[in-house]
Amino acid sequence: MPCLRRLSLAITLLLSSLLIAQSCGGVSTDQPAGPAVVASPPAKAAEPVAFPNADGSLKFLAFGDFGTGEAPQTQLVRQMTSLHERFKYELVITLGDNLYGTNNGQAYRTKFEIPYKPLIDAGVKFRASLGNHDNVNQTKYELFGMNGERFYTFKAPKQNVRFFALDSSSPVAAQIEWLEKELKSSTDEWKIAYFHHPLYSSARGHGSTESLRKVLEPLFVRYNVSVVMAGHDHAYERTKPQQGIVYFVAGSAGKLRKGDLNRRSPFFEAGYDADLAFLACEIHGDDMFFQAISRTGAIVDSGVVIRRKEKLQ
């Protein structure tokens, strides 16, 4: 049944593309790709991850707003560690607010190195982005993998996936120009942007960062970004695709604002604001499987994002 659903979706997409091609008399390669699509997961897992969990796929976690050093953060890490036993993710992208409060040497240890020791010891690499609570000198911290840069891009080791980490609290012109240049020159099938301030958020705490959206969204649409991940709001949310892009907020890996989501927001698709959560993802070909997992190990959202694809010539 799930296979049939996927097949039906693929046919619908193909027909849509053909219709667009017919009505436009062909589409140039300069045109943005078609929308990303969210489909149901292939099977309902009893516990986190029954994804393909395939050899050679890119497996990673995404979460933000975590560096408290308090018990809830550590309890969520236990779920991450447990997951790693059966789902060998190799990468964590952080969505900012990596260290709350004083960013002294002790804070790096108590709010990051000690809680995430099992993952660090297992060889999981962190690639951080900065939040508004973060001291910029975190860019120099070896385990955050930023190599001294406030914004940077990197490619997955073996897969056709490129990440763009931004510093959303200070979107200076140089950063926006850099982003456009990098997005334009990237030929990767998957482009994923991540940063702290969400362009779309149904949370009442902060909500959408509209001024940033005006600057970033046109670039994401034009250069075929399929997925954008952010934190800042202390809840989990997935939007309906906006101009073809799926936006995630995963800002509850250490802090939580219970009951903060406005589920009547026009772009709200799924969310969880009852407990801490993180996002586990697997990119396998054109599909990005995802599960949002709570502090108790419950799957609170799941699905598949099918990446944006070039329209037919």
Partner 1 sequence: MTGFLPQGLLAVALLASPMTFPAPDPSTAQQATNRDAQTLADFQVRVKNYLALRQKVTGGRPALPDKATPDQIEAYQRALGQSIIAARKGAKKGDVFGADMTVLVRRLLGPIFKGPDGAAIRNAILEEAQPLVPTINTRYPDDVPVSSMPPEILKALPKLDENLEFRFVGRHLILMDVPAHLIVDIVDNAMPS
Interaction site with partner 1 (CB under 8 A): 101-109, 113, 131-133, 135-142, 147-148, 168-174, 176, 197, 206, 209-212, 214-215
Q: For residues 52 and 205, which CB has a smaller minimum distance to partner 1 in the complex?
A: 205
What residues does 239 pair with on adjacent strands? 268
Q: What's the CA gap between 67 and 128, in Å, rounded? A: 12
Q: Which residues of 267-301 are buried (b: 16+ CB within 10 A; e: fewer)?
A: ebbbbbbbbbbbbbbbbbebbbbbbbbbbeebbbb
Q: For residues 73 and 139, which CB has a smaller minimum distance to partner 1 in the complex?
A: 139
Does residue 282 contact residue 88 with C-beta atoms inside 8 Å? Answer: no
Q: For residues 23 and 137, which CB has a smaller minimum distance to partner 1 in the complex?
A: 137
Q: For residues 6 and 206, which CB has a smaller minimum distance to partner 1 in the complex?
A: 206
For residue 32, the minimal CB distance to partner 1 (Å) is 21
Q: What's the CA gap between 143 and 126, in Å, rounded? A: 6
For residue 204, the minimal CB distance to partner 1 (Å) is 12
For residue 305, the minimal CB distance to partner 1 (Å) is 27
Q: What's the CA gap between 83 and 77, in Å, rounded? A: 10
Q: For residues 54 and 172, which CB has a smaller minimum distance to partner 1 in the complex?
A: 172
Q: What's the CA gap between 235 and 258, in Å, rounded? A: 8
For residue 104, the minimal CB distance to partner 1 (Å) is 5
For residue 179, the minimal CB distance to partner 1 (Å) is 12
Q: What's the CA gap between 309 and 88, in Å, rounded? A: 28
DSSP, collapsed to helix, strand or coil, labels residue 227 as strand
Q: For residues 140 and 184, which CB has a smaller minimum distance to partner 1 in the complex?
A: 140
For residue 249, the minimal CB distance to partner 1 (Å) is 15
